[in-house]
Every structure is written in C-alpha cells, then in structure tokens.
Chain A
Amino acid sequence: MQDSPRNLRVKDVALPLDRCPVLAPNAFFKTALEAMGRSRLGIVCVVDADGMLRGIVTDGDIRRQLLKMQKPFSAFFGDDVIEHAIPHPTTVGPDMPLLDAVNLMEEKQVWDLPVVDADGKLVGLLHLHPIVKLLVSQQD
C-alpha cells in the first residue's frame, strides 16, 4: 500500500537530477529551448560548475521576453542563458512535505520547482504531472 500523500516528501516524487534539463550559465540561449523540447518540460535549470542553482528559465519567461525583446533572433539565440534566467527562483528542499510543496506551486502558480539541498545544489526537479499521476493512482 502506498503512503498517504500526507506522509510523502518532495524527494519521493521529484525527478532525479539526470532527468532535469540543466545548462551551464554560459550556454547559448538557443540550447535552453532545445533542452525544454527534449525533456518535454517547460523549465531549464541553470547550474554552475559546482552544481549550484544560479537561476531558471521557463517557457513563460521566454514568451514574455519575445513580446518585449526587439533584437534579432540570431542575437537572442546567441545570448548566454544566464542573461535571461530568473535569479533566486523559489525552490524546495528534498525533505519538504509534498503537500506543502504543492501548496507552494499553487501559491506561485508554477508547474515546476527546483529541488536544492541545504547548500543550494540542485538535486532534482519537482514537476506537477508526476504528483497528479500519483494522487490519481491513489484514488483508484
């Protein structure tokens, strides 16, 4: 029998690091779009050489940029990804109760939350779909 959702922690549902789209700060911005497409996630985590989370780029951020940005696509695609990343994003810890994290997603109106350890290193990604899938399966 599966644990009740009340007993679950973020780490029980989060995508492991190797499933997260992760880029170095100086990666070309174009690669963020490619990474999102490959992972079928609307987020890319920007991580430095020490594994510390430096920011995130979401598809919403890109949509908003496209409406404001006036420079050519060729220049946009060639920018360092960190230039368009949201610094200091909302994150969760691996041991946070899952329901608290879901409430945080609702509060922030986001589908994804990077999971970082106590040092700020990225360790995974909490994505809404697996959570929904889990909760639905528990209704069956």
Chain B
Amino acid sequence: MDMKTITVGYGDVTKVQIGPGLPLAFLGGPCAIESRDHAFKMAEAIAEITQRVGVPWIYKSCYDKDCRSSPDSFHGLGMDEGLQILADVRKEFGVPVVSDFSDPSWGPATGEVCDLVQIPAYLCRQTSILRAAALTGRPVHIKKGQFMSPWNMKNSVRKLESFGCHDIMLADRGTFLGYNMLVNDMTSFPIMARTGYPVCFDATHSIQMPTSMGDISGGQREFIPYLVRAAVACGINALFMETHDDPDNALSDANTVLDIKYLENVLRQAKIMHQARLDILAEFGEDNIHPNG
C-alpha cells in the first residue's frame, strides 16, 4: 500500500512533513492556552528542546476545552483571544500550530490560523465537525475515540475524504477498558496505517484515567516513556505529548501533562527508537507476515 505523506505548514513557518521513512514529528505544547505569556514561555522552551534534539515540531495548544469533566474547570481563553495568541506564537517562532475545535462553526476561524486542525476523540464520528475540518483546507489530525475500534476509524477517514480532505493523520489516545481507565492497543497503529495515512501516538492522553477523580481526570504519567517507546517501535509517524512547566498548576489536564523537565529525555528516546525501527526495516524488510500463515 502506498502510504501518504502530509505536509503541515503554510506561509513562512518551518513546514513539517509527516509520513513513512521521515523523521518522527512532534506535536506538543500546553493542553490549553492559559495566557499569552505562558504560551510564549512554553513555545520558547519547547523550541529550544526540539532544536537540540533535532525533532520537527508543531506547537499544540487549544483555545477552548469543551470536554472538561466539570463546568467549573478552566474552559479556555476562547476562540478570538486564543487564535490570536496561536497566530502570534506561529509568527514569532516560525512554527506550525495545531488546535482542536469542538463546534463546526469554529472551523473556518481555526483553519484560518492553524496549520493543522484537530478533531477531538469524543467527536471523531461527528459528520458535521468532520465536514467543517475538511472545509478548512488544512491537514486534519483526527484522534481515535476511546470507544472506537481502530478499524472503524476508516469510516471517519472516508467521511473526511468525501468532503475533499486527503491530508489526514490518525492518532491513538487510548481505548476504554471498563470505566475510568484507558489502555493502548499497539496494533491500532498498523491497523490505522492501513488507511494509507500517517499515524500518531498521543502519549499524555493515553495515560489519562478519565474522570477518575470525581470531577476531574487522573493519570499515570509515569508510564509515558514506556508507551512512547512501544508506540514508536510499532511504526508511528508522529508523537503527541502535552507538556507544561508546572503540571500541578496546569489549568487543563494537570494529571497527565508531561513536566517539561522530562521532555528532552523522552524525545531523545523516541528519536533513537524511531531510527532503530527504520534500521530494522532496512535490514529485515517491511513486516509482511501474512495473517493466514
């Protein structure tokens, strides 16, 4: 099967290509845009780290967190202020930016600024939001719903294609194992890759324990490096991790974001593992064990 490469970035930013045989791309930033100062502070820190490690980077942060457990949780700065900050980060650092959006009416404005538009996992089947994402004309990053099988994501891909979008990336961010618990099925990567599009691992949401703490989600962030190494070995094209300089006081996903002090370590491991996989495939050939023996 021919695997597609997608290019993220318009205008003057450093374009990031994501696809087979290419360097592992990194999507990262604070879960939510907390303030202009914080967004810039995080962007500056991540820019330095990704430059040192040599990882292509897309800045991720959201302007409206519409799936928080509690009405009292921080919802975000809102579309106008949030997108303006993203546009300014994009301009200042020359980095492509990605945000998700949770309402079809937010699509045009999101696509106006963002180089990559993201479909939240809970909404990955929603035709109206898939249509809105496709109509932005930007590449679309769609997360597999925690309730979805990896093979059923083909339906969402077909929807996006039917609306004219052919630059797609699919992410695994965990699958529900009963209540309040997620697991990662590593076969999801080769299965979703059979759509022909690049695949991504969302490490920090995968270790989430959804709404396990009553009105907020918990998480087991100590497992991030284990899962990252496993996912990279399974052939992901991009790695997604939310990161924060002060996780305990993060306004969103405080129990799952990766403390930025660990980011360089994890990215270096991921980069080495990615290259090792490419070397293994070069020596032993593509994985080709036939299901029927």
**A: which residues have CB within 8 A of B?**
65, 68-72, 74-75, 78-79
Contacts and interface: CB of A to CB of B under 8 A. Distances in A.
A74 B151 contact: yes
Interface in B181-221: 191
A69 B292 CA distance: 6
B291 A71 contact: yes
B293 interface: yes
B151 A75 contact: yes
A68 B154 CA distance: 24
Nearest to B150: A75
A69 B291 contact: yes
B152 A78 contact: yes
Contact of A74 (B149, B291, B293): B149
Contacts of A69: 291-292
Interface residues of B, number: 9
A68 B152 contact: no
A78 B154 contact: yes
Nearest to B155: A78
Contacts of A72: 149
Interface in B148-162: 149, 151-152, 154-155
Contacts of A70: 291
A68 B292 contact: yes
Nearest to B291: A69
A80 to B, nearest CB: 8
A66 to B, nearest CB: 11
A68 B149 contact: no
B25 to A, nearest CB: 27
B292 A74 contact: no
Nearest to B158: A26
A101 B106 CA distance: 61
A69 B155 CA distance: 22
20 contacts: A65-B292, A68-B291, A68-B292, A68-B293, A69-B291, A69-B292, A70-B291, A71-B291, A72-B149, A74-B149, A74-B151, A74-B152, A75-B149, A75-B151, A75-B191, A78-B151, A78-B152, A78-B154, A78-B155, A79-B151
A135 B208 CA distance: 70
Contacts of B291: 68-71
Contacts of B292: 65, 68-69
Q: Which 6 A-B pairs have the closest CB atoms?
A: A75-B151, A68-B292, A78-B151, A78-B154, A78-B152, A74-B149
Contacts of B155: 78
Contacts of B154: 78
Nearest to B161: A26
Interface in B273-293: 291-293
A68 B152 CA distance: 22
Contacts of A79: 151
Contacts of A75: 149, 151, 191
Given A68-B293, A72-B149, 7 more contacts: A68-B291, A69-B291, A69-B292, A71-B291, A74-B151, A78-B151, A78-B154
